[in-house]
Chains A and B, each alone.
Chain A
Amino acid sequence: MEKSYRINNIIFTTLILLTLFTWLLGQVDIVGDITKKIDGKIFFLILLTIAVIKVQLIGDFFMHLNSVKGFWRWIITLWVILTGSFIAIAFLL
């Protein structure tokens, strides 16, 4: 059980760090001068990738879908990839 707590702590710390990184990216004035240095599409893709990773971590380790096989193993992955794809199409095309 100590191992379960340890895994829980590692996943939680990773989620918090990724959240702080997302927030930091939000502080970048992409519409202002910095836009010339940072491609808006790359900025968007980084944010989307972080969000997808965070959702997958919650699904796998907090909801314990990593201990499931077959269709249900991939239900959250399927949702986040579908939703992420629609968002990406709308933002990038």
Chain B
Amino acid sequence: MYIQETIKTKYPPGDLALWIFICAELLVFGVFFAAYAFARANNIELFNQYQATLNTDLALINTIALLTSSYFVVSAIIAIKENQQQKSSRFLLLAILGGITFLIFKMTEYSHHMSEGINLTTNLFYMFYLSLTFFHFMHVILGIMILLVLWINTRKGTYTTEEHNGLVSGGAYWHMVDMVWLILFPLIYIMR
């Protein structure tokens, strides 16, 4: 098995169509990140002032939640390669819980902002902050739905040591969601 893993392949693991979709998603997020950075360049004082109102502790918890969730997805794939379906489904359940933790803390942040009367029209910083994070939030929801399907399939024994392409593809999407947050977190919450 180890020898098989060290052989380099021409295409990434999982469905190639999904990888093309991942590339399109990354491109969109990349454009949004650049737009945020250039908008900030023209309004540095405004962005620094309102960035200071964000809760970096909650953002840290959310980053750890997503990273932990991704870790469990990788563990689930390793387990299925060992033909351990039960172990794999447990890891996937933990990954889903990581995603739900992210949603809960993000909603806590949103409700705090809403209670202060903050919305998309408050100022340019909040327009970018709310739209970028909510766009990502929607991707987390889609990612959790994909993980749920993978979890159900794993419990039904759909994936085996030989055939687990669906699990690898779904996992790649979840890692993309995680990856985008790894740029979003320092860009919006920390960099000034």
Contact A48 B191 (CB under 8 A): yes
Does A87 lie within 8 Å of B75, measured CB to CB?
no
Shortest distance between the CB of A32 and any CB in chain B (Å)? 11
A22 contact from B30, B41, B75, B190, Cβ within 8 A: B190
Q: How far is the CB of A2 from chain B (nearest CB, A)?
A: 10
With both chains docked as a complex, state the minimum distance between the C-beta of B190 and any C-beta of chain A, in angstroms: 4
- Which residues from A are CB-within-8-Å of B182? 51, 54-55, 58
Chain B residues with CB under 8 Å of A65's CB are 12
Task: Place the interface of chain B in its size category.
Answer: 35 or more
Chain A contacts with B in 39-87, Cβ cutoff 8 A: 40, 44, 47-48, 50-51, 54-55, 58-59, 61-65, 67-70, 72-73, 75-76, 79-80, 82-84, 86-87
Give A25 to B34 CA distance when docked, in angstroms. 22
Given contacts A5-B78, A67-B5, A69-B9, contact A22 B33 (CB under 8 A): no
Contact with A along B43-66 (1 / 0, CB 8 A): 000001000100011011001100
Contact for A83 among B9, B30, B178, B192, CB less than 8 A: B30
Give the total of A residues in contact with B, Cβ under 8 Å. Answer: 51
By the criterion CB–CB under 8 Å, are B191 and A47 in contact? yes
Distance in Å from the Cβ of A26 to the closest Cβ of chain B?
4
Considering only residues 4-54 of chain A, those with a C-beta below 8 Å from chain B are 4-5, 8, 12, 15-16, 19-20, 22-23, 25-27, 30-31, 40, 44, 47-48, 50-51, 54
Minimum CB–CB distance from A14 to chain B (whole Å) comes to 10
Using a CB–CB cutoff of 8 Å, the interface residues on chain B facing chain A are 1-2, 5-13, 19, 23, 26-27, 29-30, 33-34, 37-38, 40-41, 48, 52, 56-57, 59-60, 63-64, 67-68, 70-71, 73-75, 78, 81-82, 171-172, 175, 178-179, 182-183, 185-187, 189-192
Residues of chain A at the chain B interface (Cβ within 8 Å): 1, 3-5, 8, 12, 15-16, 19-20, 22-23, 25-27, 30-31, 40, 44, 47-48, 50-51, 54-55, 58-59, 61-65, 67-70, 72-73, 75-76, 79-80, 82-84, 86-87, 89-91, 93
- 5 further A-B pairs in the complex, CB-CB below 8 A; given A58-B175, A80-B183: A23-B57, A26-B186, A67-B9, A75-B12, A87-B33
A-B contact pairs, 11 of them (CB 8 A): A3-B2, A4-B81, A8-B78, A12-B67, A16-B67, A47-B191, A58-B70, A58-B178, A64-B13, A67-B13, A69-B9
